[in-house]
Structure 1
Amino acid sequence: MYRHFFKRLISIILALCGLTVCAIPMIIVAIIIKYDSKGPALFKQVRMGKHMKPFTCYKFRTMCQGAFEKGGIVSSESDSRITKVGAVLRRTSLDELPQIFNILNGTMAIIGPRPILDFEFEPYKSNTYFYKRYEVLPGMFCTVDLDLRATADRETQFEMDAQYVDDMSLVLDVKAFFGIISMVVLGKNVYKDSK
C-alpha cells in the first residue's frame, strides 16, 4: 500500500506544505538569480522518469546561460560556469526547490532515484538490475545523498537506486529524508571532486 498509494499521498502533502513555506523565499531567490547573471531564473532540462519516460525537470539556474552546451555536467566547485549565487544554491541544495512542482505534477517524488539525462544510462544498459531504478518515480533526493551525494560514481549510484526500489518503505524514506537534511546542512560532497 505504501509503494502504490501512501508514498504518493505523502509526497503531495509535503510538497504543498513546502510550497506554502517556501513560496516567498523562492520568489526572492529567483529575483537574486536574475540580478546576479543574465538568463532565466529557472533551469529546465529533459530527464528520464518512471518507465524511462522523458519529463521536464525544474531547478533554479546555478550556471551561466547555455552552460551545459558549453561544457556538460559540473563536477568541480571551481567550474567557472557556476555563478556566485549558484555556488550558494548548490551547496545548500536550494536549487532543487522548483522540483516541488515536479512532485505536484506527478513526475517526481520526494525520495527516489535521482533523474538523469538519457545518455548517462547508455553505458549501463546491459545491466538489467539497474533498470529497477525506472520502476518508480525519480526523487528530489535519493539514498545516495545520505553519504556520497555527488561523489558517487554512476555504477554505485545505480546499484543503490536499484537496492532502494527493492527495499522501499516508509521507514527508509523517513530515514533518508532526515539524513539528507544533515548532509545539506554540513554542505558535504556537493561536487564530484569533493573531499
Structure 2
Amino acid sequence: MTFKIKYPIVKKYLTSGTSAHIFVDDTGIYECIPLLTDTPEKAWHVLYQKPLDNQIFGDANDIAAGVELCFSHLRGSINNEEAYKRYVWVIAYICYKFGLDPTKAIIGHHILDPQRKTDPQNALSKMEKSYDQLLQDVVIEYYDCLPREEVLMKLKKWQIDMAHQSIENLNEKELLYDVDEWKKKVEEKPQEVINDFPWLFFVMLDRLSQKKGGN
C-alpha cells in the first residue's frame, strides 16, 4: 500500500536546535531536521515541563514531529492557499508514515505551549481558516491519498472495533448476551449480523442505553 506523494520533500538539514522538523510555504516542504527522509531526530519545538505536553506526549521534543506553516499577512510574498495545501498534505503524510490516527494525533503548539506559541492558530487566522477546519482537512487529505483498498480496510477495522465496543457495552447493561459469539460473527460473517442485528442498530441501541443509564 502506498500514500499519494503530491509534493517533494526538500532536505535542508540545519544544525541541532532547530525549532521544528519541517517548514512549509507555497513553494516547498523543507525538512530541516530528519523526520521523513531519514531516521528521525529531535527538534526543539516545545519547552520542557509543560503540563499538557507532558500529559499527552511525555515530552513533545522527544516523541512528536514539529511542522511550521509559513504565511504572508500584508505583503503577499507567500501564496497562503498553496502553503496551506502543502501543510495539510505533509501532516497527513506524517500520520501515514508513522502509523498515527489523523483524527487524534494532531495538536498545535498553541495548545501545548500557550505562553510562548501561537502557531498554527496565528497563520490560520490570517488565512481565514480555523484550527478545527485544519484538523478536518488533514483527515480528508489522509484518506484522499490512500489507495481505495486501504481506505476500505481501515473503514472495516473501524466498524468492527466500534461494533465490538458496542457489544461489550450492551452486555454490561444486560441488553445483549453471547458476547464472544457476536464478536466472532461481526468479524467472520458481517452480512449475517446485518441481517440478524444490523451494525448500525448496535451503535444506536448502545447510545440510547447510555443516555438511559445516565438519567
What TM-score, normalized by structure 2, do the two folds share?
0.28
What TM-score, normalized by structure 1, do the two folds share?
0.30
Give the structure with the larger strand fraction: 1
Q: Which has the higher contact order (CA 8 A, sep 6+)?
A: 1
